[in-house]
Every structure is written in C-alpha cells, then in structure tokens.
Structure 1
C-alpha cells in the first residue's frame, strides 16, 4: 500500500514538474513584455553610424504604436525593411541598415511590439509580430507609393519576414538570416538540447501558449508560407555553428523556395553570426541581392 502511495506521489510530482517546465517554456517564448523590453536611454542610434535618419512611428495592423527609424535616400525607390530577433530591438540592425543605406537604399528598422520603444503587448515567437511587419509595409507604401520593397530578418525576425511577406505582393524579395522552418520542430530541438522529453513538454507548452498568448505552434510555419510567397526571390543565410536554430532548417527552407533562390552557409559561426564573420562581404552580398531584384 505504501509503495503504491509513493508511486502515485512520484507520478504526481513528475507531472507537476513537466507542467512547470512547459509553462516556463511558454513564458520564454511569449512571456510578459517587461521581460523583453530593455533600457533604451543609452542605446545607439543612427547618429553613431553617420547616416541620414529620422524617428518615425506607425501602427501595427491591430493598432499598436510601433517606433522606427527611417534611413532616407530620396533619390531611390528601393526600400529595405529590417526585422530584429526575438529578444532584440531595432538598434541591433544599425550595422546592416547603415550598410544598405550607403549602398543607396532607403531603410526602415523598427522595434517589434513589446520590445524597445514600441507599445507593450502580448509577444510571441513570430505570430503576433507579423502584424507589426504588415504595419511597416503599409507605412512604406503610404510614404513612397512607388517603393520597391525588400525585407531582411534575423532569427525570429527572419521567420516573420517569410510569414509576413507571403501575402504581401508589395514585397519583392526577402533575405532570411537564421530562420527556423517550423516552430514545433524548433521547440523540440530546444528541449532535446536540454535533455528534456520533447514530445510531452511541447504538447503542454503548446496548450499553455494557446491559452495565455493566443496562438498554437502549428500556426507558425515559415516553410509553409513559402508556398504563398511563390516565385519571388529569396536569400537564405545560416551558420553551421548555430546551436539555437539548426542549420538543417536553412536547407529545408531553401528546398521549399519556388522562385530565384540563393543559399549562403557560413562555416563555424554561431547563431546570426554571418554578418560578424565578414561585415563588408555580408553587406555587399545582401546589397547586391536587393539591387538585383528590387
């Protein structure tokens, strides 16, 4: 009898532990915005990189105010929109943004909801943020009706670039640096790396995410968005040393792309490390890609 009681207590404790881990995983993916907003008072701005710029703001499709920087090239119709990573903010794109500006393009970089200077909101891993990118596209279309729009994104921002451009024909080309192919597989990968059982924990985290944050993992599949993206050009970038998002995702996305496509794999660099491996070469290749298709 005591053995059964101990066994029951052990199973109950194990179930509670799994639920707690799943709740933590959901929190890390989509948790309170306060955890994702960082001090912006001492952040770098385009002033440091010596480009022409102005502070702008626009609304996401659900009415949140999104804060952004416009790096202007009045003589050009090319516009590149930059999307930062999950726990990042717009100043992290100053390097590539300034490089593309110097290559003769207008650039719009912005803080996703709940990050940087943008409005607080429920966050997610590339689900709710698609509405912010759609707001950025609308802003560009209103400001420059003849714009030839490209999008570049990093990590979650790369996934948003693919998801958010799929149904936006105004976007003519996308650069996806270190994107995942499917959210569910990414969660499994992260759990397995921590020697946790992926299948039960992912199912629990998915349920908690749906209840607390309003979306399911199945709704975030950049690889499926490529069907709707169609014949438009795509440059996929990834690093072999990425332990956050496996490099196999880059190969899967590249294989799924239907239009003109390029795959750039950088050896022995970590997550989103391609830019830092060789900054001039990175800016040159990305700029040439956009010059070719915008």
Structure 2
C-alpha cells in the first residue's frame, strides 16, 4: 500500500512538473513573440538622416485604429518613385538608414517609420506581423498623399519583409517589393525558434502559444502566412533576399517563397551570412542590386 501511494505521489508530482514546465515554456514563447514594449532614455540616442546629410522631415500619420506612427520622410527634389522601409520585429526606423540613404541618392523619396510599440511611435504590445500590416497600409496612404501619382515600392527586413508581402497582397498601390529574410508563416518561424532555443518538440507548444497570444493580445500568429500572400502579387515584381546560413529563419523559407511567387520574381541567396546579413557582407553590391530592382520597376533618374 505504501509503495502504491508513493508511486501515485511520484506520478502526480511528475505530471504537475510537466504541466508547469509546459505552461512556463508557453509563456516564454508568447513573450518572445509579443514582448511588452520597454523604453528608456537610450532609445533617443540614434542616428538620423541629418548625420548622412540628407534633407528630411519628421512626420507622423495615424493607423486605422487611431494609433499614431512616426517616421522620417527623406525628401527628394525630383523623385521618380517612393520607397517605404519596414524594419524587423525588434527594430526601429534608424535601422533602415543605410539602404534608405542609398535609395534616396538613387532618386527616390524614402519613408522610414517605426511600427507600433517601437521607436517614436505610440506604445502598443508588439505583435508578430498582425497590426504591423495595418501600420504599413497607413504608411502607403501617407506616401500616396505626399507624392501622388508616383509608384511606391517597399523594402522590408525579417518581420518587415513578411509585413511587406502581406500588405502588398491587398494594396495595389505597392508596385514592387524587396523582401529580405522573410518567413513563410508565423507558425513555421515560431516552431523553428522553439526547436532551436528550447530544443523540444514544437508542434503542441506552437498551438498552445498561439492560443495564449490570442487571449493576451487578440491575434493569432498562425494566421500570418506570407507564403499565401506572395502568390497574389503578380504581375507586380518581388525580390527575395536571404542569407544561406540564416539560423533564425532558415533559407528554406526563401526557396518556398520563391516557388510560390509568380513572375517577375528574383531570388538572391547570399552565401555565408546570417539573418539579414546580406547588406553587411557587401554593402555596395547589396545596394546595387536593390537599386537596380527598383530602377527596373519604379524608374530611376538615369
């Protein structure tokens, strides 16, 4: 009898421990997917277009739900198009000054802005490609009002690349997209992160985390599917860039996105680089390729 009681106690303790571990892991994943915004005085210590000698305006515009977003409008005197830059999940608009400055010098007005809950935009719980799509739609409206009749392109990195693909699928004013290090779906990238970070099977934890994200933040990352959106872009062009050694979003995502896209489409897999590493490996080559893509489909000064 004592042995049976001890066994039941052991099994109960083990079950509770496993349940507690699963809850803790689920909570950890949701906090990685949708972290609460934290700000400090250091957030203001960034470079601006001023350091690059580029004329710009500090601008703001309002998303569909009334949230105010803030950014920089790099003003070109005789623009042949507009390019909007979309930063990554934990990034801010100053991350885009490198490619943004080069596109401005190539003859485009450029809009870089902070997604909600980041940088100078209004506070909001960060999401993984949910409300950020609304933010890009608002940026397109702003750009179209400031530069009517000009074609609009979008360049995005990581989450920003996924946002660009999803927004372009329902926004015909986006004429061309450069997607650097995009993922195929929210579930795919979260599952990979679980396997790589926690080193446990991902399937059930993805489902649990998706449900908890829905309860906490009102969206489901499982509904985020750039793989479906990219097929809706044609005949508008898309350029897919990805690092061969990307450990955050494996390069297989790029190949699947390319296969799902229709012409005109371009795939550039950069050998030997990590997530969003193509720009830093060879800045001149990277900027040349992106400028050439937009020159072909948006127009250039030449």
Query: What does residue 271 of structure 2 align with?
Result: 267
* Structure 1: gaps (5+ residues): none
Separation in structure 1 between the aligned mates of residue 117 and residue 91 of structure 2, nearest angstrom: 10
Cα offset for 1:61?
A: 1.8
Query: What does the per-residue CA deviation read over 1:194-219, in whole Å, with 9 as the maximum and x for residues that have no partner?
Result: 21220121111111011011111221
Separation in structure 2 between the aligned mates of residue 27 and residue 41 of structure 1, nearest angstrom: 24
- Contact 1:78/1:106 (<8 A) preserved: yes
Cα offset for 1:124?
A: 0.5
The 3-state SS of whatever aligns with 1:73 is: coil
Separation in structure 2 between the aligned mates of residue 227 and residue 262 of structure 1, nearest angstrom: 14
Cα offset for 1:38?
A: 7.5
Query: What does residue 205 of structure 2 align with?
Result: 201
Separation in structure 2 between the aligned mates of residue 127 and residue 259 of structure 1, nearest angstrom: 27
- Contact 1:38/1:116 (<8 A) preserved: no
Are residues 1:155 and 2:152 paired?
A: no
Separation in structure 1 between the aligned mates of residue 33 and residue 190 of structure 2, nearest angstrom: 9
Separation in structure 1 between the aligned mates of residue 77 and residue 63 of structure 2, nearest angstrom: 25
- Contact 2:129/2:221 (<8 A) preserved: no
Report the CA distance shift for 1:201/1:38 in structure 2 as closer, same or farther (over 3 A). farther
The 3-state SS of whatever aligns with 1:34 is: coil
* Structure 2: gaps (5+ residues): none
- Contact 1:180/1:249 (<8 A) preserved: yes
Query: What does the per-residue CA deviation read over 1:266-287, in whole Å, with 9 as the maximum and x for residues that have no partner?
Result: 0111110000111011111101
Are residues 1:232 and 2:236 paired?
A: yes
Equivalent of 2:97, from 76, 94, 97? 94
Report the CA distance shift for 1:257/1:38 in structure 2 as closer, same or farther (over 3 A). farther
Separation in structure 2 between the aligned mates of residue 243 and residue 134 of structure 1, nearest angstrom: 30
Give the TM-score normalised by structure 1: 0.97
CA RMSD of aligned residues (A): 1.2
Show the 5 A alignment for 1:1-294: 1-34=5-38, 39-194=42-197, 195-294=199-298
The 3-state SS of whatever aligns with 1:263 is: strand
- Contact 1:140/1:147 (<8 A) preserved: no
Cα offset for 1:31?
A: 2.1
The 3-state SS of whatever aligns with 1:253 is: helix
Separation in structure 2 between the aligned mates of residue 251 and residue 171 of structure 1, nearest angstrom: 23
Report the CA distance shift for 1:227/1:198 in structure 2 as closer, same or farther (over 3 A). same
Report the CA distance shift for 1:262/1:38 in structure 2 as closer, same or farther (over 3 A). farther
The 3-state SS of whatever aligns with 1:129 is: helix
Separation in structure 2 between the aligned mates of residue 226 and residue 279 of structure 1, nearest angstrom: 26
* Bigger Rg over Cα: 2
Give the TM-score normalised by structure 2: 0.94
Cα offset for 1:57?
A: 0.7
User: How many residue pairs end up in the alignment?
Assistant: 293
Extract structure 1 runs of 4+ deviating beyond 3 A. none
- Contact 1:19/1:201 (<8 A) preserved: no
